A and B are shown apart, each in its own frame.
Chain A
Amino acid sequence: MPEKLGGWKTRLASYYPYYLIIPAILYYIAFWAIPAASGVALAFQGPKGFTLRYFQYVLRDPYFYQALGYTFTFLVISVTVEFILALAVALLINTNFKGASLFLFVALIPMVLPEISYGAIWATGYAQHGWVNSLLVHLGLMDPAQPMSWLAYGKIARWMALLIVAEAWRGLPSVMIILLAGLQGISKEYGEAARIFGATGFQTLRKITLPLLKPSIQTALILRAIGAVQIFVIITVIFGHRNLPVLVEEAVYYFRELHQKQLGAAYALIIMGIVVTLSVLYLWLSGSFKGEEGRGE
């Protein structure tokens, strides 16, 4: 009798891992899967059933092409700039130096600051009598009689440059931390071996360090790209609404300002398509699809 009870108890206990994850799964179904699926339905559902009219509307909207163009221009340039600078900095500081932990806290600041604070920093910075110009005057780099008007309307190329600087402020430290973590995982012996065999610093970097750093580089690039596709708050705070339209702004605009739920959903679906493509690429490159079923490896 006790033996039987034991068997029953063991059986019950073997389901333990599932009991513990069932709440999470139910939650995901209720508040993620159902909304996500109904978002797809929303974008394709007209008054008389299935329709493509919302997407046709989006494809006829000149703002859509602008938004798409600006979003991707921003993505490509800002991710490239951040990556190159962050890699340079990470390589330079990949040693144990005094004050490293304080420095890491400083590097965390832009990552954890609210987007509004981030927007306020650069909106007050780029204003004609803002802190960027003031700093340049104090440094003797600008004539106080002729402050630069950074935000002059319609100078899209200049705006893009300003946006990339602001975004570098926010994104560069996070890319640097990911790369630094990767660099610290690389055994110093590889570099020493390369040096003994006569490799120059540049050769070591190109043939040893960068290939070993590849997983971290992929992580950093794709995470930044996913973030860049969804840029929105900072743009409206600095440049105003729809002056430099981007995809998320259009989704929010149609949904919230015009109460066109289906158009908002259509835009959201387009953003989703881009982000999911990037995410799957990331998961595939990082080898997550062929991971072992193990106990917390």
Chain B
Amino acid sequence: MSELRLAPPVADWRRFTGLTLTYLAVAGLALFILVPVYFLFILAFMSRAEVYSWPLPLFPKHFTLDNFHFFLTINPKIIPSIWRSIEVAITTILIALSIGGLAGYSFARFRFRGKNALKLSVLFVRMYPGVAVAIPMAVLFMRLGLYDTPFPIALALNYGVGNIGLTIWITASIFLGINEELEEQAMVLGLSRMGAFFRITLPLAAPGLAAAAIYTFIGAWNEVVIATLMTQFNPTLAAVTYHTVAAAAGSLHLQSAGGAFMAFPALVFTFIIKRYIIQMWGGVRI
């Protein structure tokens, strides 16, 4: 009897410690992640007087957009570079979704010779260091007279490579999740395979494809090293912000405004597609 009475408290105690430890770990890591982000944003929105007060306030009193205004006007290249970044990102999305999407569909639906070698190549190309392609590609495009053009086509073509691989991976898992029988039934009812794809599969895959597009956008928007190598007078926002922020040691208002401005789209888009990104990192395999 005494044993029976003793057992539950022990179990409860264990469960309790377990849960407490879980929440402590969660809270610890969440704080470690969020505190720096919090400071980046409050610094960016603080008045100049507050940014250079000591110690910095934990909760700023005066919110202002002055720092962003300062950042956006410090270099005349910045405003045009925003549009250029969007252009490059959209071009990359178009390349990745059309070419990568086709291959992803093929990977998901067919069994064919050389499939494994192809999968391996896709992974290998993804892991290949960016500089080792960007430098020679810049040289090749210099010879063609297409280096550092107002619309940096070379950059978009370079981003296309990595993102095709990523899109193959993502779209293959999307198409795998759509029952092939739906397509087969549509084909039995008289649609061609192409028709079945466009009328049945594509609409079902649309949300996943949109997520893939957004993920590509985030990648292209964020990328610095290749953008630095492949542009000079026509930089993307990431490239010009990088030079601005790296040259502004000690100018907390400028560094934080540049960092926060770059961060907004990435954060908003990530929130929209968080479910898909977690799935992707959670080891969805093709």
Contact = CB atoms under 8 A, between A and B. Distances in A.
A131 B245 contact: no
Interface stretch (A33-41, A58-66, A73-81, A155-163): A33-41
B246 A241 contact: yes
Contacts of B37: 109, 113, 121
B233 interface: no
A68 interface: no
- How large, as a class, is the contact surface on chain B? 35 or more
A52 interface: no
B160 interface: yes
Contacts of A101: 274
B94 interface: no
Nearest to A233: B224
B22 A134 contact: no
A116 B258 contact: yes
B228 A252 contact: yes
A173 B30 CA distance: 10
Interface string A1-31: 0000000000001001110110111011001
A71 interface: no
Contact of B125 (A32, A118, A129, A133): A32
A107 B27 CA distance: 11
Contacts of B135: 39, 42, 251, 255, 261, 264-265, 268
B262 interface: yes
A295 B110 contact: yes
A92 B25 contact: yes
Classify the interface of chain B: helix, strand, loop or mixed. helix
Q: Is the interface of A mostly helix, strand, loop or mixed?
A: helix
Given A112-B270, A275-B129, A236 B113 contact: no
A258 B41 CA distance: 36
Interface residues of A, number: 110
A133 B30 contact: no
Interface in B80-131: 95, 98-100, 102-103, 105-113, 115-116, 118-121, 123-125, 127-131
Interface of A: 13, 16-18, 20-21, 23-25, 27-28, 31-32, 34-36, 38-39, 41-42, 88-89, 92-93, 95, 97, 99, 101, 103-125, 127, 129-131, 133-135, 137-138, 144, 147, 169, 172-174, 176-178, 181-182, 184-185, 216, 226, 229-230, 232-233, 236-237, 240-241, 248, 251-252, 255-256, 261, 264-265, 267-269, 271-272, 275-276, 278-279, 282-283, 288-289, 291-296
